[in-house]
Amino acid sequence: MDIARFTVASALKALDAGEVSSRELTQGVIDAIDAKDAEIGAYLTFDRESALRQADEADAARAAGKRGALLGVPVAIKDLINVAGQPCTCASKILEGYVSPYDATVSARLRSAGAIFAGRVNMDEFAMGSSTENSAFKTTRNPHDTSRVPGGSSGGSAAAVAGGMAICALGTDTGGSIRQPASFCGIVGFKPTYGRVSRYGVTAFASSLDQVGPMTRDVTDAALLMNVLAGCDEHDGTTADVPVPDFAAALDGASLKGVRIGLPKEYFVDGTDPQVSSIVRSAIDRCAAAGAELVEVSLPHTEYAMAVYYIVAPAEASANLARFDGVRYGHRTGKPEDVYSLYAKSRAEGFGAEVKRRIILGTYVLSSGYYDAYYGRAQKVRTLIRRDFEDAFTKVDALLTPVAPTPAFKVGELQDPLSMYLNDLFTIPASLAGLPAISVPAGKTAEGLPVGVQFIGAPFADAKVLSCAKAFEAA
């Protein structure tokens, strides 16, 4: 059973028609992991027994006439989303051995929909990174070229789907962590509007930015997963109480005809890899050929977005990660001298370099004497960035931009933190404004490396973004 040929939609169809069982699909995932994952390194753990048991239950339910939006479909889960009884390490030594006592809301929703989930996929530690090289446990490789990174932080999710070891996966996106690895691995990655999907049970990195989203082979699958994931949640006060459309039905007759697509001039500048620029240019031509109306727009504060992000996100992270102190769960130092050293040594031994760096940066920008100059100012500039988008969306229906300035880079190539951060240049602004944004495959470089383009929509125009991406995919 080669699961690489299945999408969520085709798997559901085959299951409904009795052409395949959930057990066969799940065994297909296990066989693919056995064949390929020693080289790719997408999975941290995979509980075979649990997976096959869940699959048998799904097959029995189906035989008894039950149906579910994902009944019997295996889903790979990024290792910061809690699933009761499964490990949840956030790819950090500080959570080695941790077993979740509860389901995240998205896990509970997948469970109700009948999905099979037993595999935990790799990531940058606590989602801090753009290459998955910051995992404390392993380096994940890009299935298109194993000398290269899969992107990050949801690199395990992207590599599992692109490498034919998962039909679909969940990732999380704080500044581009779904979209950039989707672009690097040639799959679809959708970051919903902030507040569309519950963050309850998803280990927090930067609470005003984090969103869970689907990583899939095509846009239809992203919409099918969104139908399960989206909705207001009493456990997350930041979820929005707004109507949830049928995202998959909204793709019927998806077309770019007459759709006003904005091209923000600040995203088309020197410094982007020439092959990426050329692929994005031909994507724009494809949209025009499909009937879209192209409009040049300006988002004048784009150049400040990265500075804002690397103040706001580490500031929130420094507060969120204060909970890892060696007291209630996670690693505790073996040699505490006093209560301060219990915290300071447990954290020193448990966190990796990038996590320490961001906690220290975040602590600094929140510290007395610097708060107004850094954090306070960054929040105001965030308002200016959000207003840029509001202005643009009075003129256009969606924006089209590159996802990342380069294709996948080599493992070990980017050593300096600031040059790694620059990878998120084109994904960060939509995160700061809380907007829905998708990376959809647009072409390949001469070396065969995938490159995606990004569609960005207005707040809660998730269905519009998916529909543009669907029409582009078909164009």
Partner 1 sequence: MAGESFDVDYVARLAHIELDDGEKAEFGRQLGNILAYMEKLKSLDVDGVEPTMHGHGRVNAFREDVVKPSMARDAALANAPERTDDEFRLPKIVEDA
- Contact set for partner 1, span 232-261 (CB under 8 A): 234, 237-238, 240
> Which CB, 41 or 459, lies closer to partner 1?
459
Instruction: Name residue 296's beta-bridge partners.
Output: 263
Interface residue with partner 1, options 22, 142, 183, 193 (CB under 8 A): 193
Asked if 101 is part of the footprint of partner 1 (rule: CB under 8 A), the reply reads yes
Interface residue with partner 1, options 201, 261, 459, 468 (CB under 8 A): 459
Rounded to 5°, the CA angle 428-217-450 comes to 60
Order the strands of the 450-456 sheet from edge to edge.
43-46, 116-121, 74-78, 168-173, 211-216, 188-191, 437-444, 450-456, 398-402, 260-264, 293-297
Asked if 126 is part of the footprint of partner 1 (rule: CB under 8 A), the reply reads no
> Which CB, 18 or 334, lies closer to partner 1?
334
Q: Annotated catalytic sites, by residue? A: 78, 153, 177
The SS3 assignment for 474 reads helix
Interface residue with partner 1, options 363, 413, 473, 475 (CB under 8 A): 363
CA 224 to centroid of chain Cα atoms = 16
- In angstroms, give the least distance from the CB of 443 to partner 1: 31
Q: Classify residue 368 by burial, with Cβ atoms within 10 Å: 0-12, 13-18, 19+.
A: exposed
Give the β-pairing of 398-402 and 260-264: parallel
User: What backbone phi and psi angles, to 5 degrees, belong to 436?
Assistant: -75, 140
- In angstroms, give the least distance from the CB of 47 to partner 1: 17
> Which CB, 32 or 463, lies closer to partner 1?
463
Asked if 206 and 320 count as a contact pair (C-beta separation under 8 A), the reply is: yes
- Segment 58 to 97, residues that bind partner 1, using CB under 8 A: 97
Nearest to 455 by CA among 263, 182, 227: 263
- In angstroms, give the least distance from the CB of 3 to partner 1: 33
> Which CB, 310 or 472, lies closer to partner 1?
310
Asked if 371 is part of the footprint of partner 1 (rule: CB under 8 A), the reply reads no
Asked if 338 is part of the footprint of partner 1 (rule: CB under 8 A), the reply reads yes
Asked if 438 and 465 count as a contact pair (C-beta separation under 8 A), the reply is: yes
Count how many Cα atoms sit within 13 Å of the Cα of residue 74 in the half-sphere of its side chain: 36
Interface residue with partner 1, options 190, 205, 310, 409 (CB under 8 A): 310
Asked if 329 is part of the footprint of partner 1 (rule: CB under 8 A), the reply reads yes
Q: In what helix (H) or strand (E) does residue 171 lie, and over which residues does it extend?
A: strand 168-173
> Which CB, 14 or 344, lies closer to partner 1?
344
> Which CB, 2 or 372, lies closer to partner 1?
372
Dihedral sign for Cα atoms in the order 212, 214, 219, 220: negative
Asked if 301 and 384 count as a contact pair (C-beta separation under 8 A), the reply is: yes
> Which CB, 1 or 336, lies closer to partner 1?
336
- Segment 131 to 190, residues that bind partner 1, using CB under 8 A: none
- Segment 375 to 434, residues that bind partner 1, using CB under 8 A: 376-384, 386, 416-418, 421, 431-434
Cα–Cα distance for residue pair 379/375, rounded to 1 Å = 6
The SS3 assignment for 362 reads helix
- Quick note: the x/- pattern for partner 1 over 268-307, rule CB under 8 A, is ---------------------------------x-xx-xx
- Segment 194 to 233, residues that bind partner 1, using CB under 8 A: 194-195, 208-209, 211
- In angstroms, give the least distance from the CB of 252 to partner 1: 28
Stretch that binds partner 1, among 9-17, 65-73, 156-164, 362-370 (CB under 8 A): 362-370
Cα–Cα distance for residue pair 226/213, rounded to 1 Å = 8
Number of residues that bind partner 1 (CB under 8 A): 75
- In angstroms, give the least distance from the CB of 6 to partner 1: 33
- In angstroms, give the least distance from the CB of 130 to partner 1: 15
